[in-house]
Copies of this chain bind each other. A is one copy, B any other.
Amino acid sequence: MLASATEADFAAWMGAIQARVEAALARSLPGPQQAPARLHQAMRYATLGSGKRVRPLLTFAAGELVGADGSRLEAAASAVEMIHAYSLVHDDMPCMDDDVLRRGKPTVHVEYGEATALLAGDALQTLAFQLLAEHVKEGKPTDGDAARQLEMVRTLAVAAGSRGMAGGQAIDLEATGKQLSQTELEFMHVRKTGALISAAVKLGALCTGPCPAALEQYAHRVGLAFQVVDDVLDAEASTATLGKTAGKDSRQRKPTYVSALGAARAKQFAEELRRGAHASLDALGGRTERLRQLADFIVLRKF
């Protein structure tokens, strides 16, 4: 009874944040009729209407821990989600993964053509940084606000760049067809997926001040767990459940945690990371409940 009440409460919180982020994204993106209309429509298509919003959920959960301002969290969560959306648009293009299905819909280049997809991804990245640099709180901005916002720009850029997400993609490209050790896999995935997941957590904390070390450790563990579970799902779930093409990794001969460790050991590793994430939170006082629930959600999800 208690467990299901907690679950219902978490589901309600998640739904509320997802709706709030959807509304914030819709407001931040240029309107579909604003020139150049086709580009703006492609940007909206790539970002709105679906997605689990795992990164925004983490931003809000970390923000709850530190008591962050809501409008600032909306901007941070939207910026992270736009970086994620841009990376998916470019990753799906024919010269990269060449995929036709994403979040249950045709990919952006299938729907709008490659040139528009390229530009839409580019412009989504730009808009993410613009959002973080704008004044979002009511009233006159203080000097401390600017310093914190600047730290958020830097954190997101480091996570998204060539030593973060884009670098992870590049390593992934080069690794196709190779067998990697667990250490090499981790080097790749800490960048490819982990960096942005971690940044989502850190940005939530940075809305009020420096990110505590224990929260950084939680972010690292959850980020890696997310990718391990993604690998397991790619191997075991169906395309219909995932909303994206399943079984791609093995067809494309990509090294994954499943190919490196086997499915059973990969699941065990994800579970260890989940417990480790909880242990990191034990070092923090305050409202860690949502962060705990999200670690569970990320590891125990079926899609």
Contacts and interface: CB of A to CB of B under 8 A. Distances in A.
A75 B30 CA distance: 29
B146 A118 contact: no
Given A35-B167, A133-B151, 15 more contacts: A30-B162, A36-B170, A39-B166, A90-B119, A95-B114, A96-B118, A116-B170, A119-B162, A127-B161, A129-B153, A133-B154, A143-B146, A146-B146, A146-B149, A149-B150
Interface of A: 30, 34-36, 38-40, 43, 86, 90, 93, 95-96, 113-116, 118-119, 121-123, 125-127, 129-130, 132-134, 141, 143-144, 146-147, 149-151, 153-154, 157-158, 160-163, 166-167, 169-171, 173-174, 187
B123 A95 contact: no
A121 B166 CA distance: 10
A121 B169 CA distance: 13
A32 to B, nearest CB: 12
A126 B169 CA distance: 14
A134 B162 contact: no
A170 B96 contact: no
Among all A-B residue pairs, the 7 with the closest Cβ atoms: A143-B143, A130-B157, A95-B114, A123-B162, A126-B161, A39-B170, A133-B154
Contacts of A130: 153-154, 157-158, 161
A88 B5 CA distance: 55
A264 to B, nearest CB: 31
Contact of A133 (B86, B153, B173): B153
Nearest to A167: B36
Given A133-B150, A143-B147, A166-B119, A171 B36 contact: yes
A170 B115 CA distance: 8
Contacts of A144: 143
